[in-house]
Amino acid sequence: MEGSFLKVKIFDTTLRDGEQTPGVSLTPDQKLRTAVKLDELGVDVIEAGSAITSEGERQGIKNIVSEGLNAEICSFARAVKVDIDAAIECGVDSVHLVVPTSDLHIKHKLRKTREDVQEFAVESTEYAVDHGLTVELSAEDSTRTDFDFLKEIFSEGIDAGAHRICACDTVGMLTPERAYEFYGGLTDLGVPVSVHCHNDFGLAVANTLSALRAGATQAHVTINGIGERAGNASLEELVVALHSLYKVETGVNVGMLYDMSRTVARMTGIYLQPNKAIVGENAFAHESGIHADGVMKKAETYEPITPELVGHKRRFVMGKHVGSHIIRQKINEMGLRVDEERFQQIFSRIKALGDMGKCVTDVDLQAIAEDVLGVLPEKPVELEELTIVSGNKVTPTASVKLKVEDIEKLEAGVGVGPVDAAIVAIRKSMAGVADITLEEYHVDAITGGTDALIDVVVKLRNGENIVSARSTQPDIIMASVEAVLGGINKILSDKKIRESKETSS
């Protein structure tokens, strides 16, 4: 395919199409915080919501408008005056004015005629333009629409004052080849063309790239690709593909992408699969010995972009595929010195754990190394007492007594369950010593029966440092507490080693 990119604008619909993800509902405050972050990211347009939806939705849009952001603030609207009036009330800059155009939608959803839809599109466009709004006239299910009719309705909308047009691949039916032909066929209408692709066949980003190569100038995207069903085209994937593969720059600050992804994941409660491109936790993680060795020597051998480009971090995972170079590096970081014989013992034990299907955590490695070396593991923090109160109509409450460097700390916490309460109490006890957040919590029953061994794996964050830890016990509460304390001890031990190295240098 021939074609070249024009300037690409980013229309972010995380707060509208993204919020239509099943189970997601954002408060006005959450919407405002996300919009401010999106503006810092550098998107051109923020679709803040659909003003007609509810009073809370309108308040959220008004809050965003009043913030005075650089981005154009847009509201979704159907081609009816009541929707446009709601958008006008909110003070937005523009409306994403959507009309269904496929015969399937016109006949079965609207139960109208093509002529009715044309009339709606023209009248609503004129009404919005007359009230000072920028209008992006959008055709829903456009990729299953008779193409001559699609161009006709867009032409009439443009004559009525529409400033931009958008063709929506509402159920993700395009292929990259057809996307190029389809969007290329709309570029002679005299106004900017937007591409809006859904990901039902996993092709949303590829189809969006093809549309942009064909002459579309604005891409509708969401952070993390969230949205209805399989979601929308992913902002981070599209922007980095443009930046790295096509050498096309947008106004987006790519260094903020990982942080932006995590913010939206927290706000929506929709967390990413680990292997998500660009921003997933495994996007720059390496276990294979060959890969890890190559990355340590020259990152480009197995990384197409650096993690730093998008604000991410590289990490090495220890499992049955791990190579000796990574284990040596980890042992050195722990401040331990081992000869070749002991190193081979450590290496063999890690491989054996991997063959058993075990994830070898930082704490596991330290325990294995110290066991081989005959070193007693240092425990800056030790559990002295744990009391749990939980039951029907009782708020789960935990009190813990910890010994932190010979100083006793006693704290209590409440939570949604006894495990949560215990972890809250521990975090309160460690405030100012090791301020941690629980990044991941995973539990498995290893054996059967009511006395099953429970395997708990946690991932803790302390500033920029992330450690993983595990504990296996018949009691899920104790296993959880010991795993968290194991991670905290690893964080504190690592901190002591770093400080010692800085002092000696």
Q: Return the domain boundaries, the chain.
A: 9-268, 285-373, 381-504
User: Binning pLDDT at 50, 70 and 90, where does residue 200 land?
Assistant: very high
Of 139 and 393, the one with more pLDDT:
139
pLDDT of residue 289: 44
Starting at the edge strand found earlier in the chain, the sheet holding 465-473 runs: 437-445, 454-462, 465-473
Q: Per-residue pLDDT for 292 more than 50?
A: no
Evaluate whether 9-268 and 381-504 have a shared fold.
no
Lowest-pLDDT choice from 28-32, 196-200, 319-323? 319-323
Q: Burial, 375: exposed, middle or buried (Cβ in 10 Å; 0-12, 13-18, 19+)? A: exposed
Helices (H), 23-100: 28-41, 55-66, 81-90
| Span 235-248, average pLDDT | 96
Strand intervals (E) in 315-393: 315-316, 381-391
| Span 236-258, average pLDDT | 96
Superfamily assignment of 381-504 in CATH? Answer: Alpha-isopropylmalate synthase LeuA, regulatory domain (3.30.160.270)
pLDDT tens-digit map of 75-97: 999 999 999 999 999 999 999 99
Of 476 and 369, the one with more pLDDT:
476
pLDDT tens-digit map of 95-147: 999 999 999 999 999 999 999 999 999 999 999 999 999 999 999 999 999 99
Q: Per-residue pLDDT for 44 more than 50?
A: yes
Distances (CA, A) of 377 to 345, 489, 502: 18, 10, 22
pLDDT of residue 358: 63
Of 327 and 131, the one with more pLDDT:
131
pLDDT of residue 183: 98
Q: Can you tell me the distance from the alpha carbon of 453 to that of 272, in angstroms, rounded to the nearest whole number?
A: 29
Mean pLDDT, rounded, of the chain? 89
User: Binning pLDDT at 50, 70 and 90, where does residue 416 land?
Assistant: very high
Q: Per-residue pLDDT for 37 more than 70?
A: yes
| Residue labelled with tokens 């409660």 | 269
User: Binning pLDDT at 50, 70 and 90, where does residue 448 land?
Assistant: low
Q: Per-residue pLDDT for 456 more than 90?
A: no
Q: Per-residue pLDDT for 490 more than 90?
A: no
User: Binning pLDDT at 50, 70 and 90, where does residue 306 land?
Assistant: confident
pLDDT tens-digit map of 9-20: 999 999 999 999
| Span 489-505, average pLDDT | 79
| Span 299-306, average pLDDT | 74
Lowest-pLDDT choice from 9-13, 21-25, 57-61, 141-145? 21-25
Instruction: Give one DSSP letter per residue of 444-493, joined into a string.
Output: EE-S-STT--EEEEEEEEETTEEEEEEEEESSHHHHHHHHHHHHHHHHHH
Of 483 and 196, the one with more pLDDT:
196
| Span 255-259, average pLDDT | 95
pLDDT of residue 322: 65
Q: Give the residue from 27, 125, 45, 38 showing the smallest Cα distance to 92.
A: 45
Lowest-pLDDT choice from 129-138, 371-380, 403-412, 469-478? 371-380
| Span 21-43, average pLDDT | 95
User: Binning pLDDT at 50, 70 and 90, where does residue 349 land?
Assistant: confident
Of 104 and 364, the one with more pLDDT:
104
Dihedrals phi, psi of 256, to nearest 5 degrees: -95, 0
pLDDT of residue 63: 97
User: Binning pLDDT at 50, 70 and 90, where does residue 290 land?
Assistant: very low
Of 295 and 49, the one with more pLDDT:
49
pLDDT of residue 480: 94
Q: Can you tell me the distance from the alpha carbon of 308 to that of 324, in angstroms, rounded to the nearest whole number?
A: 25
Q: Per-residue pLDDT for 494 more than 70?
A: yes
Q: Per-residue pLDDT for 441 more than 50?
A: yes
The CATH fold of domain 9-268 = TIM Barrel (3.20.20)
pLDDT of residue 299: 61
Q: Can you tell me the distance from the alpha carbon of 471 to that of 481, in angstroms, rounded to the nearest whole number?
A: 8
Of 297 and 218, the one with more pLDDT:
218
Calculate what percentage of the chain has a pLDDT beyond 90: 64
Q: Per-residue pLDDT for 286 more than 70?
A: no
233, amino acid identity: A
72, amino acid identity: E
Question: Residue 491 is encoded by which pair of tokens?
Answer: 């964080």
pLDDT of residue 315: 63
pLDDT of residue 1: 46
Calculate what percentage of the chain has a pLDDT beyond 70: 89
Strand intervals (E) in 162-284: 164-169, 193-197, 218-221
